[in-house]
Amino acid sequence: MQLTQKNLLGIKDLSINDIQTILQTSTHFKEILQRVSKQLPSLRDLTVVNLFYENSTRTRISFELAEKRLGASIINFTTSGSSSAKGETLLDTVKNILRMKVDMVVVRHSASGVPHFLAKQTNAIIINAGDGTNEHPTQALQDAYSIQEKFGKIEGVKVAIIGDILHSRVAPSNIYLLTKMGAEVMICAPPTLLPKYLKEAFPLIHIEYDLEKTLRWCDVANVLRIQLERQNQPLFSSLREYNLSYGIKKNILHRIDKEIVIMHPGPINRGVEIDSDIADSEQSIILDQVENGVAIRMGVIYLFSGSPIAVNTK
């Protein structure tokens, strides 16, 4: 199972075949994760550093768990308690860690392009765990996996991505992946939360400003968090008004009189982009996305490590 890329920098670089290979491999790992004994020895010769320069719960824990399930040796780096507080550069930090015989770097950073920079400057295998507003490839893979699990396919499924697209790295990765795999994609947000050149960058998408029209159109609503920490000027009048116009609520879902699947990459701002009763409802597959994140990250680490050992599903 050969991939076209040495590093996972973004979905933009992956071929359709790469994506299918990752999804299929992750299906084997998902089966293994249902067993009492979930531990595999496949990657016991691999050493991975999880380099998190930005906060994370789901991505950091699921990468760590995936690496442990595959038997890899792991090191966890966070800026707190590290020498980056003394002014050490990112590259010096990474070069020092790699000199300790580390093979793979899983990196999250608030600056777009950090994984690409590390891929140019080092020989390690680089896996992007989210870079600025650029991409979050493993999130898109777990989202697509969850859609495939629910609908039995990705092609032809109508997916609406709703919310703060401007500050999102989940949105671009999802758009790349879903359009490559033949899904239909609609973006819905207030104009101030849309990047200027969205249609030029992604000619295949539909753009809609009206939430009710979007929900009537879609099979899946992937709802994104309002990223207040990345907004340095007000982009809408108040969180309450955002919730009234763009929040996923019981009354609007009743009005459209149609069962749609609700997704959210997390963390959720309850009562802002989605109300609690919807996030926790039978329509929601938010926790399935989280569960699938471990299998996807096992698939990604396994495939990008170039391991020649076949996945043992027995």
Element holding 121 (H helix, E strand):
helix 114-121
Binding residue for ligand CP (CB under 6 A) from 71, 113, 132, 266? 266
Return d(Cα 63, Cα 23) in angstroms, integer.
Answer: 16
Closer CB to ligand CP, residue 58 or residue 216? 58
Binding residue for ligand CP (CB under 6 A) from 41, 182, 267, 306? 267
Return d(Cα 102, Cα 51) in angstroms, integer.
Answer: 12
Closer CB to ligand CP, residue 279 or residue 311? 279
Element holding 29 (H helix, E strand):
helix 16-33
Nearest residue to ligand CP by CB is 59
Return d(Cα 274, Cα 252) in angstroms, integer.
Answer: 11
Binding residue for ligand CP (CB under 6 A) from 4, 17, 24, 57? 57
> Is 73 strand, coil or helix?
strand
One-letter amino acid for residue 93 of the chain: T
Residue 104 tokens read as 């793979």
Closer CB to ligand CP, residue 98 or residue 169? 169
One-letter amino acid for residue 119 of the chain: A
Residues of this chain, 96-135, that bind ligand CP according to CB under 6 A: 130
Q: Which of 83, 55, 51 is nearest to 67 (CA)?
A: 51
CB of 31 to ligand CP, least distance (A): 24
Binding residue for ligand CP (CB under 6 A) from 265, 274, 286, 303? 265
Closer CB to ligand CP, residue 25 or residue 173? 173
Q: What angle do CA 175, 176, 178 make, to 5 degrees?
A: 65
CB of 143 to ligand CP, least distance (A): 10
Assess 156 for contact with ligand CP (CB under 6 A).
Answer: no
Binding residue for ligand CP (CB under 6 A) from 58, 158, 216, 249? 58
Binding site for ligand CP (CB under 6 A): 56-60, 130, 139, 265-267
